[in-house]
Each structure stands twice: as C-alpha cells, then as structure tokens.
Amino acid sequence: MGAEKRFFVKFKLMLMAILMVSMESSMAALHRVGGKLGWNPNVNYSEWSDHERFYVGDWLLFNFDKRYFNVLEVNETSYDNCNDQGFVKNITRGGRDVVELTQVRPYYFLSSGGYCYHGMKVAVNVEMLPPAPEPAPVKNGSLTSDDVSLKIFHYMISFAVAYYYLVLLF
C-alpha cells in the first residue's frame, strides 16, 4: 500500500474515531422481554412492559427455547384473542431473537401453540425519543470552568482514540 493511500486510510479512521467519541446522541436501548425470566409461560408481561419505556430505535430481545416457543408479531385483535393465524411477522430465528422498534405505534407479540393463553404475549407502546433538554443559560455568555474542563476532557478522549487508531494499529 502506498504512503499516500495509507495516509488517507489513517485520516479516515481518525475522523471516524473523533466523530464516534464526540457524538452526543442517545443510544438505543435493548429491552430483554420478561427481564431475567425471558419469554416463557406464566410470566406477567403486562407488568414487565409497564415498567419500561420504549422509543423508536430501541430493540426487544426475546430469550426462549425455540423447541417449544416462538415469537409472532400480530395485530391488536389477534393479540386480544390469542389468535396466531394471519400474523404480521414471525420473529423466531433461534431462541435469542431481536426486533427493532422502528415506528411510533403499539407493537403486539405472542407465542403460538396455545402458549399465549398461558401469558406469553406482550404489548409495547413505542414513543418518539423526547428532545434533549435545553442547556442552562450561561451568565454573560461565558463558559464556566466546569464547561471548559468537560470540553478539554472530551477532546482528550477524542485525541486518545484517534492516536490509538493512527499509531498503535498501523
């Protein structure tokens, strides 16, 4: 690889590292359906979902024994009646299955084979992520020492990541 090409690769890696470290965005959450109990009969999924907040971009993780159970996305009527016919989507792949919540709307999931009647159904209401709070007003338009310290720390971390990618990996 020529020196010029190596320079551009290093430069792109440095920019990516700085962008990744300096991004101030919220991260999507991974919700383990049922918590430690997973996707199993006789679990109160309504209680579980009442204690969670679901936002666009979040993920649901269903942990279950695929020999016995599955995960189907259904409409509200099928959810209410434990009807597994005409499902929207079969989420089941291997027993540790995920689904991304991509829209603001209620999502309905159940397990077929009669397990829905034993509580294996969950409804989640997905919301838009609330906007970040406005920063507190600064007196006289100047930065406080805490603000300056935080910015310096932030750039030091960015530099350290960029240095790692540029020097230690090449």
67 and 123 share one domain = yes
Domain containing 90: what range?
A: 30-127
Residues in the chain: 170
Taking only the tens place, the pLDDT of each residue in 24-44 is 345 789 999 999 999 999 999
Would the pLDDT of 49 be above 70?
yes
Q: Both 103 and 140 in a single domain?
A: no
CATH number at residue 81: 2.60.40.420
Instruction: For the full predicted model, state whether its pTM sits above 0.75.
Output: no
- What is the domain count for the chain? 2
Question: For position 21, what pLDDT does the model report?
Answer: 43
**pLDDT above 70 covers what percent of the chain?**
64
47 and 99 assigned to the same domain: yes
Co-location of 136 and 119 in the same domain: no
Using only the alpha carbons of the chain, give its radius of gyration: 23
Least confident of 1-15, 38-52, 89-103: 1-15
Q: Are residues 118 and 49 in the same domain?
A: yes
Cβ atoms within 10 Å of 142's Cβ, excluding its own = 8
CA distance 167 to 10: 9
Task: Examine the domain organization and report whether 44 and 119 are in the same domain.
Answer: yes
Please indicate, yes or no, whether residues 122 and 140 belong to a single structural domain of this protein: no
pLDDT per position as a tens digit, 126-143:
999 887 777 766 666 555
DSSP structure class, residue 167: I
Check whether residue 63 and residue 119 sit in a common domain: yes
Pair 52, 111 in one domain:
yes
Q: Are residues 47 and 123 in the same domain?
A: yes
Give yes or no: residues 19 and 65 share one domain. Answer: no
User: Is beta strand 59-63 parallel, antiparallel or unpaired with respect to 121-127?
Assistant: unpaired
* 115 and 100 in a common domain: yes
Residue type, 86: G
